[in-house]
Amino acid sequence: MFSKSCEYAIRAAIYISAEGSMEKKIGIDDICEHIEAPKHFTAKILQILTRNKIVSSQKGVNGGFYLDKKQNNKPLIEIVYATDGSDVFCGCGIGLKECSESEPCPLHEKFKGIRANIRSMVEESTIEEMAKKLTKGNGFLRVE
């Protein structure tokens, strides 16, 4: 449902939240290794997240990425909007350009509910909440 960019962005934000702090910045190599993402692609994604104030960065010897308290409390939907926009919540289930209540595709009614559930999930889930699951061992960002 989400683009690869969005998937990596969510993983990166969760990892940074779980492992970093304002005192302990997380470097790009560490992020890429732990979320299994290509470095160049992840760097571009982190630029988007930084530009949208979802993640903070600091350059230099002790630089890297981190989240402050306000950023940790952001819902995942902000990451979705920053990377994929809002179209993901109104697109057709089988990819038709035009699909609406008046001219629905065969999956329209069922898919409408799925989209609504996914939207609710990312609206109600914060970065910090997901990071806590990770640190408690109740979730993983990659298969070992």
Helices 76-84, 108-124: crossing angle, 10 deg rounding: 120
**pTM of the entire predicted model:** 0.91
Model pLDDT for residues 61-92, shown as the tens digit of each residue: 889 999 999 999 999 999 999 999 988 888 88
Q: Which of 41, 2, 34 is nearest to 16 (CA)?
A: 34
Q: Which of 97, 127, 93, 125 is nearest to 111 (CA)?
A: 93
d(CA 127, CA 25): 17
Q: Which domains does the chain carry?
A: 4-135 (1.10.10.10)
Say how many CA atoms lie within 13 Å of 62 toward its Cβ.
4
Strand bridging mode 56-58 / 64-66: antiparallel
pLDDT attached to residue 82: 98
Model pLDDT for residues 48-57, shown as the tens digit of each residue: 999 999 999 9
- Distances in Å between the Cα of 29 and the Cα atoms of 12, 16, 53, 58, 68 are 11, 12, 21, 15, 21
